[in-house]
Amino acid sequence: IDESYPWWKAFSKPCNELGLKLKPEIFPAGTDSRYIRQAGYPALGFSPMNHTPILLHDHNEYLNEDVFLRGIHIYNKIISSLASVPAFDEEL
Amino acid sequence: TMSSSENPSTSLFREYLRIRTVHPDPDYGNQFLVRVAKDIGLESRKVKLSSGRDILVMTWQGTDPKLKSVILNSHIDVVPVYEDLWTHPPFAAHKDEAGNIYARGTQDMKCVTIQYLEALRQLKSDGSHFPRTIHLTLVPDEETGGHTGMELFVDYPEFKDLNPGITLDEGLASPTEEFSVFYGEKCPWWITVHCRGD
């Protein structure tokens, strides 16, 4: 990840301010993001669930309410930041 | 239930979890999502795909609409269940004393859909305005490969008309303190092996 890329900066800055430890990774399976990336648009895969066992597609899939509610706050800050990115050269 | 004292965002999440958008025959009626959008004050519309499926698009217009947009993508469908292996019914959204909510889709990815919506509700009620337009895209059939959903949609003029800048989509839970962020993914590569007899 290019730390100077405006979208990444706008994503990671509020996360840092909230004290979130981010771990950039390659997704181990396939999501709809691959079609968006293939069409030439950047996409980030992020679900704000830490301290949570990975139970997608599994029995007893669950999420703790406090983790869920904190996620709303996290998105509040991330969305605000992304939607406020000033026009930058590569996008025009 | 505890609904009288429950956080309304949690109640909304649990309501969505009870809608059986489960394969092989997901309930894509979408009345719930359209109702929530209206309640928040988001315009919503449907884009009909050649597959017969709909993409639901909700929009919060930015103050400088020529700038590229922020797309908050999520899929509506969930994978099937072996109900007898669950300690709580998978479409009841039971919440236990520890606050754990059990249901198919709690992690993948109805949580994210409601979190996007509730974050936008907060921002709207705070009187926030942003230069960039924000779109929510709610798509079908991700769990079966997206061939009747997102794979088609990206080639539609309605997708280009969103003027996409950055898209957020699902990640994965993380058992540690860290949050995973995915900037790429492995691609499926199907191999057909023909074994011919004599």
- B150 at the A interface (CB within 8 A)? yes
DSSP conformation letters of chain B:
--TTTS-HHHHHHHHHHTS--BTTS-----HHHHHHHHHHT-EEEEEE-TTS-EEEEEEE--SSTTSPEEEEEEE--B----GGG-SS-TTT-EE-TT-EEE-TTTTTTHHHHHHHHHHHHHHHHTT---SS-EEEEEES-GGGTSTTTHHHHTTSHHHHTT-EEEEEE-----SSSSEEEEEEEPPP----------
Cα distances (angstroms) measured from residue B49 to each of B59, B147, B149: 19, 11, 7
Residues of B (44-73) whose Cβ lies below 8 Å from A: 62, 64, 67-68, 70-73
Q: Which residues pair with B2 in a beta bridge?
A: none
Length of chain A: 92
CA–CA min distance B196, chain A (Å): 31
The Cα B179–Cα A23 span in angstroms is 6
The segments of chain B whose pLDDT lies below 50 read 3
Tell me the chain A residues in contact with residue B120 when contact means C-beta distances shorter than 8 Å: 79
The Cα B161–Cα B155 span in angstroms is 11
pTM score of the predicted model: 0.93
ipTM > 0.90, yes or no: yes
What count of CB pairs under 8 Å joins A to B? 268
Which tens digits make up the pLDDT trace of B65-111?
A: 999 999 999 999 999 999 999 999 999 999 999 999 999 999 999 99
Question: What is the mean predicted confidence (pLDDT) over A31-38?
Answer: 93
Q: Which of B54, B141, B142, B143 is catalytic?
A: B142
